[in-house]
Homo-oligomer: A and B are copies of this chain.
Amino acid sequence: MTNFSWKVNKTSSVSRARTGVINTPHGEINTPAFIFCGTKAALKSCSAEEAIRNNTQIILSNTYHLMLQPGSEIISNHGGLHKFMNWHGPMLTDSGGFQIFSLGYGSVADEIKGRNQMMIRNKSLLNISEEGALFKSYIDGSKHLLTPEKSIAIQRDIGADLILVFDECTPFHVEKSYTAESMRRSHRWSTRSLNSFELARKFKSTEGSAGSQSIYGIIQGGIFYDLRDESIDFNLHSKNFFGLAIGGSLGCSKEEMHQVVEYIASKLKDKHPVHLLGIGDPSDIWSLVRWGVDTFDCVSPTRLARHGAALKKTRLGKINIKNSKYREDLNPIDSKCQCKTCAKYSLSYLHHLLKSDELLGLQLITNHNIYFMNDLMLYIRKAINEDKLLEAEKDWYQD
C-alpha cells in the first residue's frame, strides 16, 4: 500500500466523531468527507474542473456500469479512469456487487425509504453461485458473470486509488438464515478478492493502470447484530484491508439504519477509515459522523439538482426551484453561500431555466449542491477539531 496512509487527527470528547486524513497517490482526503458519484465516469452535468472549483476531494465510479460501457479495456488504454475522465484527485470504485444486487433486488436506500416491497424487482440478476453472480446487461441484455477475481481485474484496469472487495448486497426482506449464508459467501469472495489483489500486485509490473491501489473490506450481516459481529471479526482479522466499508442491508427505516451503523461503527477502532456505502443525505450525516463514519457516498446532490431541488441550510434541507413562488425571486438560493451559482444567479433565473428546459439550469443547481455538501463537510471537520460538533449542528441551520 505504497503512498497510502490513514491518520486520525482529532476525536470528539463526547462521541466517536473524528477528523482524519486519507493519503492516496492522487492527493489527500480530509475526513469526514463526502464522495460524489460519477457513476458512468462523469458527475452528472458537472465537469471535473467544476467539481474541483466546488472543493470536491474525491469521487467514485461504478465497476458495474463501466464494465458494460465503455468496458474496462478502453479505460485501461487511456491509462486509467483518472485520465479517461480528466479527474486527477483521489477516486474510489465499488466492486460491481452493489449494482448487480441492487438492480436485482432494489437498493439499500430504497429499503430504508420503504420503497421496496418486492424482493426481486426485475430479472437482471440471473443466478448467484459460489463462483460469482450471473446477470444480464441493462444495456443490451447480454449475460455476464462477475466473480471476485474479475471484479478486481476490472478495478485494476480502471485504476481508482481505493477499490472494494466483491460482495453480495443482501436485501432486507430475506430470512436471517439467508443473510448469514450470503454473508459467509461474501466473506469467501472477500478472501478471493484480496488474494487476487495481492497476486496481481506481486506479479504485475504496474499496480492498476493508474498506479498503486488500496482495498476496502465490506462488513455484512444485515440487521442482525450477531452476524454483524461475525463480519466485523472477519474483516478486522483479514490482513491488508486499508479501509472498511459498511454494506449490506441497513434495515427498512432511517431509525434502523442509524442503529445498525452506530452498532457497527462502535466496534471499529482507529486502524481503518470507515466508509458507509450509498448513504449521505445531509440530515443523516451529522449523526453518522458521531457514530464514527469517515466517508459517505450518495447520488443525492446531483440527482436532486436534476429534479430542480437545491440544498439549503434548513431543517427541510432543500427547496424545489420549479415552485412558482420563485418566479420573481431576485435572491440567490442562499445569499450567504459562496458558490458560483449563488454569487451570480437569482432564483428567478434558475426557475426560468427549469421552466424553459435549459440544461444550464441543471448545471448551475448541481454546482450549488456539490459546493453545499463540501461546505457542510468542511464545517463538520472544523467543528470536530474544535470539539463542538453538537453546538455546530444547531448553528448550521438558518431556521
Contacts and interface: CB of A to CB of B under 8 A. Distances in A.
A379 interface: no
A103 interface: no
Contacts of A78: 330, 346, 348-349
A45 interface: yes
A68 to B, nearest CB: 10
A47 B360 contact: yes
Interface centre among A45, A70, A78 (most CB of B within 10 A): A70
A74 B69 CA distance: 44
A46 to B, nearest CB: 7
A74 B360 contact: no
A265 to B, nearest CB: 34
Contact of A349 (B43, B85, B340, B361): B85
A42 B358 contact: yes
Given A330-B78, A349-B78, A86 B359 contact: no
A85 B360 CA distance: 11
A41 B349 contact: yes
B358 A359 contact: no
Contacts of A84: 346, 348-349
A356 B47 CA distance: 15
A237 interface: no
Number of copies: 2
A352 B69 contact: yes
B45 A327 contact: no
Interface in A41-73: 41-49, 65, 69-70
B359 A362 contact: yes
B44 A352 contact: no
Contacts of A74: 327-328, 348, 352
Contacts of A86: 344-345, 349
B47 A355 contact: no
Contacts of A47: 360, 363-364
B327 A70 contact: yes
Contact of A355 (B69, B77, B346): B69
Interface residues of A, number: 40
Nearest to A348: B74
A192 interface: no
Interface in A352-399: 352-353, 355-356, 358-364
Interface centre among A344, A359, A361 (most CB of B within 10 A): A359
B352 A70 contact: yes
A350 to B, nearest CB: 11
Contacts of A355: 69-70
A313 interface: no
A363 B70 contact: no
Nearest to A344: B86
CB-based closest 10 A-B pairs? A70-B352, A40-B356, A42-B358, A86-B344, A42-B360, A45-B359, A84-B349, A74-B328, A69-B356, A359-B359
24 contacts: A40-B356, A41-B349, A41-B352, A41-B356, A42-B356, A42-B358, A44-B358, A44-B359, A45-B359, A45-B360, A46-B360, A47-B360, A47-B364, A65-B356, A70-B351, A74-B327, A78-B330, A78-B346, A78-B349, A84-B348, A84-B349, A85-B349, A359-B359, A363-B363
Interface of A: 40-49, 65, 69-70, 74, 77-78, 84-86, 327-328, 330, 340, 344-346, 348-349, 351-353, 355-356, 358-364
